[in-house]
Chains A and B, each alone.
Chain A
């Protein structure tokens, strides 16, 4: 059974600092890995999708890397802003089309 872990569960940084969020998974037989953002009580917004054959994806201040062999992905957010405060979830795409999620990292960016 695929287990997805995100550490730390919560993170607080001053504005302008770079954020590094970690995601690990136990089974490397994944099709893709997706990072989402969730604001309190809201749905999920897709940030980046990395296919299993890719090593990284970038969008603006966001960069996500994928190392399938070690079962790890990292989301980097450059020059954090208070608007980046949210919960960030990673999810791995499995052969049966479902996504298996971690519990998320809740980020607070202090002004």
Chain B
């Protein structure tokens, strides 16, 4: 069974640029959630995708957008990067997004915005 994978592992961008982060869900999982974790804080929910549709969104501006593909992999896109976007971005997958399910997290992408 393949776990959740994310790419790239690290990324450096400058203010105003755009970035795309990628996530492959665990085999058999059709739900992917994205979280932002600033240094020293707990992860904050960005949004969730279930079967290619957005299924909930946290308190993040529209410049944070996402996609889920037919194979249930997912992308997180951030436009007009700001310094405060520097963080560890985590994706998590679960079997079908049900409340009784464990969410499995990937290793994260560390984004630094200069």
Interface residues of A (CB under 8 A from B): 4, 31-32, 34, 36, 41-46, 49, 51, 89, 91, 93, 96-104
Residues in B17-37 with C-beta less than 8 Å from chain A: 31, 33, 35
Closest to B91 in A: A43
A101–B43 alpha-carbon span in the complex (Å): 6
Interchain CB contact under 8 A, B45 and A99: yes
Interchain CB contact under 8 A, B100 and A43: no
Interchain CB contact under 8 A, B105 and A51: no
Between B31, B43, B58, B88, the greatest number of chain A beta carbons within 10 A of the residue's beta carbon is seen for B43
Interchain CB contact under 8 A, A44 and B41: no
Interchain CB contact under 8 A, A43 and B105: yes
A99–B88 alpha-carbon span in the complex (Å): 16
Are A99 and B103 CB-contacts (below 8 A) given A89-B42, A91-B42?
yes
Residues of A within 8 A of B90 (CB): 43-44
A100–B44 alpha-carbon span in the complex (Å): 7
Query: Residues of B within 8 Å of A, CB-based: how many?
Result: 29
Closest to A45 in B: B105
A4–B48 alpha-carbon span in the complex (Å): 20
Residues of B within 8 A of A104 (CB): 42
Q: Nearest Cβ in chain B — how far from A96, in angstroms?
A: 5
Interchain CB contact under 8 A, B100 and A32: yes
Interchain CB contact under 8 A, B56 and A46: no
Given contacts A36-B105, A91-B42, A97-B99, 18 further A-B contacts (CB under 8 A): A32-B100, A34-B102, A41-B88, A41-B110, A42-B108, A43-B4, A43-B90, A43-B106, A49-B102, A89-B42, A93-B99, A96-B56, A97-B56, A98-B45, A99-B35, A101-B44, A102-B42, A104-B42
Residues of B within 8 A of A44 (CB): 43, 90, 92, 105
25 contacts between A and B (CB under 8 A): A34-B102, A34-B103, A41-B110, A43-B90, A44-B43, A44-B90, A45-B105, A46-B103, A46-B105, A89-B42, A89-B43, A91-B43, A93-B99, A96-B56, A97-B33, A97-B99, A98-B45, A99-B33, A99-B35, A99-B43, A99-B103, A100-B45, A103-B41, A103-B42, A104-B42
